[in-house]
Structure 1
Amino acid sequence: MDDIDLAILRALQENGRVSISDIGSKINLSVSAVGERIKKLEKSGVINHYTAIINGKYFNKELTALMFISLESPKFIDSFLKFVNEENDILECHYIAGNYDYMIKIVTNNPETLEKILNKVKGVTGIIKTYTNVVLKTTKNNYSIYPSVLPLGK
């Protein structure tokens, strides 16, 4: 990986549908060279996948909450994670260190739908404690890391 690969990654982050030709023009590289580098980045796992990022406002999904969850015992992890994976309004789930075991990001319609989800979460066997914050405004939301330095050992 070199500065050219980083430039390609940044261009794809800015617009995942940008043409190889446009990237080549921007970084002064031939279309075939850009295409080959992108294939290598995909094959090596640097580029994990491509996706469309959907604006929740168009589906009345404008309320975001972060919920911290403590489990009674590790024996409840599988059933908790099964629940999380089946709930479409739970967008993220992170196993964390500190006072809680997991943090989930919920994006839903309104306070009433949030209340229903929170009650469902609290009803999952093994959950002993929760703490929820409602997001008032998001000031930064990057969907991926910013590739700025070469990986360690490279």
Structure 2
Amino acid sequence: MENYRIDNLDRAILRALQADAKQPYLEIARQLEVSGGTVHQRVNRLRELGIITGSKISVDRRKLGLDVTVLIGLHLTSAKAMNKVLAQLKKFPEVLEAYYTTGNYSLILKVCVASIEEYHQFLIKKLQAIDEVQSTESFICMDQPLERDIAI
């Protein structure tokens, strides 16, 4: 299955699932004019190949009171510190994403908190308390005018 190439039907199934991951396979089958068994089989194959890695519910963070999103550039004391820093970051629920990057920063984080004061406390008491974090630069997000899944 390593050489398997997705086809137009696979793409259509993926688009349907991206639009609504909870819709029944039979409904997708009706839309695509194929059998429910075909959709089921294709989804299983896409899971086995690692193309579909799960399903999730989207949560509106603002409705949970998490109004502040910050992107943070991190400079580490050395490249060898990466795994130790990541192990610490995984303990912080405020950190939603971490990207190992080229360019000016070793890591770029996406952090979500309730307020600027909460962010300030996170920055001082958690993030900058990691010995291997040499410095940080914060970018407070004013709005998120674009968010989307990968186009299939």
Normalised by the size of structure 2, how large is the TM-score? 0.91
- Segments ≥4 residues shifted beyond 6 Å: none
Measured after TM superposition, the shift of residue 126 of structure 1 is 1.6
- Once the two structures are superposed, residues 112-146 of structure 1 have per-residue CA deviations (whole angstroms, 9 ceiling, x without a partner) of 1111111121121121121110000001122x422
Describe how 1:75-114 pairs up with structure 2 within 5 A: 75-114=80-119
Matched, 1:5 2:10: yes
What amino acid is the match of 1:137? D
Considering only aligned residues, what root-mean-square deviation do their CA atoms show, in Å?
Answer: 1.1
Q: Distance in 2 between matches of 1:73 and 1:57?
A: 36
Cα distance in 1, alignment partners of residues 82 and 48 from structure 2? 32
Aligned equivalents of 1:17, 1:106: Cα separation in 2? 28
1:76 touches 1:125 (CA, 8 Å); kept in 2?
no
Of 51, 55, 59, which aligns to 1:54? Answer: 59
Identity of counterpart residues, as a percentage?
A: 23
Map of 1:1-154 to 2, 5 A cutoff?
Answer: 1-119=6-124, 120-142=126-148, 144-147=149-152
Residue 83 of structure 1 and its aligned partner are, at CA, apart by 1.4
TM-score by length of 1: 0.90
Q: Can you give the 5+ residue segments of structure 2 that lack an aligned partner in the other structure?
A: 1-5
> How many residues are paired up?
146
Q: Is the 8 A contact 1:41 1:47 kept in 2?
A: yes
